[in-house]
Amino acid sequence: MKTPIQRMTLARRLTLTLALAGTLAASAAALAIAADKDLIVFDWSGYEDPSFHPKYVEKNGDSPTFAFFGDEDEAFEKVRSGFKADLGHPCSQSVVKWREAGLLQPLDTSKITGWKDLNPGIMAMKDLATTSDGKAWFMPWDWGNTQLTYNSDKIDAKDVQSLKAFVDPKFKGRVSIGDNVDDAYALASLAIGLKDWTKMTDDQFKQASDFLRQVHKNVRSYWTDTTDVVQLLSGGEVDLAWAWNDATVQSVAAGVPIKAKKDTDEGISTWVCGYVLFKDAPGNIDKAYDYLNAVNDPETAKVLVKDWGYGQANAKGMAGVDPAVLKGKGYDDVQQFLDKTLFQSPVPSALKLKMIAEFEKIKAGY
C-alpha cells in the first residue's frame, strides 16, 4: 500500500502526464485526472484519494474526474473565466466570495445523507453553510489548522514557543510558508496579536505585511501543496514551516521527526473546507449528490483523522473514531483546540485584494 506521500506524488505525475498528452481540453485551463466523465470535481491535489469516496466508486464503478487548483483565488478566477466543473472544494474564507459572484447554486439538503449530523458549531457559523433565507450553499467537510511545524531533531521546542520564530535570524534559509495569501496573513495576524482579521485596520495591515517581509528574509522556499512542504521537511531543506496538519502526519509516516506546535504564545489558525455545487454544473446532478454522500459518510472520518490529521465536519463520524487516534491528532478536546485560534472567516473584498497585491510584492522582495 502506498503512503499518502507516494499516493500524492503519483497523482501529480499522472496529472502531468495526462496534461501533456492533451487529455484535458485546453479551455479547462486546469490539470485533471480523468475517470467518471459524468462528474468533475475541482479540488486540491491529494483529495482524489479513493479512500475518501469508496461508496461513490461502489455505486458508480469509478472515481469522478478531478481537476486541481493550488489556491482558492486561482480556482475562483478559473471558474469565473469559464472553466466548467460540478463540485468545488473552497474553504471558509472563500465561500461568500464564490457565492456572491454567482458561481454557485443552492444544495438540496434532502439529498445529502447525514446533513443533520454536521457539527452544530460549524453549522452555526454565520453566512457559511447557509444564508439567512434558509438556503444551503456549502457542505462543510474537512477542518483543521495551519500551524507552526518543526523538525524536533534540529530545533528545540522552547525556541519556537512564539510565532516570532519565523523572523528569528538564526532560522535564515530554514523556513517555508505556503504560497497562499490566506495562510500567510493568518500567520502575520496572529503574530501581531490579532485574532479577528475581519476587523484589521490599515495600521494592523501594515504591521502584518511588515512581519511577512521579515519572514521572507528567512524563507528558503514557499510551498505550494502538502507534497511540496513534506518533501522540504523530509529532505532536510527546511526545519521550520507554517503548514497544514497533514504535513506533520505524512512526515512522521515517512520516519521524519516533524512535530506541530499548537500551543505557541500566539496560537494557530483554523479553517473549515467543504463542497459546493457550481451554478452551471455540466455533469450528472445525481452523481454530484452521490459524491457528497460518499465523503460525508461517517466512516470517512477514520481516514481523514488518522491519515491526514484533519477533522470531519460530520459529528457522527468524529464520534466513531478511536479515542486514542483522536487524542493523538489533538481532537480529543475540541473546545481547547478552538480557544486560541484565528478562524479564517471571509475578509472584506477590498482588504483581500490588498492582501493579494501586497503578498506578491513581498514574495518578490519588495
What was the pLDDT predicted at 336? 58
Cell 475540541 belongs to 334
What was the pLDDT predicted at 32? 63
Q: Which of 242, 269, 247, 243 is nearest to 337 (CA)?
A: 269
Which residues of the chain fall below pLDDT 70? Answer: 1-32, 334-339
Residues 6+ apart with CB under 8 A from 192: 204, 207, 208, 211
- Alpha carbons 116 and 102: distance in angstroms, whole number: 26
Q: Which residues pair with 146 in a beta bridge?
A: 244, 269
What was the pLDDT predicted at 347? 86
Q: 110 to each of 17, 114, 115, 317, how far by Cα in Å? A: 39, 10, 8, 19
Instruction: Determine the residue type at 196.
Output: D
What was the pLDDT predicted at 25? 37
Take residue 194 and report the three cell numbers written for it: 490579532
With helix as H, strand as E and coil as C, how does the chain read?
A: CCCHHHHHHHHHHHHHHHHHCCCCCHHHCCCEECCEEEEEEEEECCCCCHHHCHHHHHHHCCCEEEEEECCHHHHHHHHHCCCCCCEECCECCCHHHHHHCCCEECECHHHCCCHHHECHHHHCCCCCCECCCCCECCEEEEEEEEEEEEECCCCCHHHHCCHHHHHCHHHCCCEEEECCHHHHHHHHHHHCCCCCHHHCCHHHHHHHHHHHHHHHHHEEEEECCHHHHHHHHHCCCCCEEEEEHHHHHHHHHCCCCEEEECCCCCCEEEEEEEEEEECCCCCCHHHHHHHHHHHCCCCHHHHHHHHHCCEECEHHHHHCCCHHHHHHHCCCCHHHHHHCEEECCCCCHHHHHHHHHHHHHHHCCC
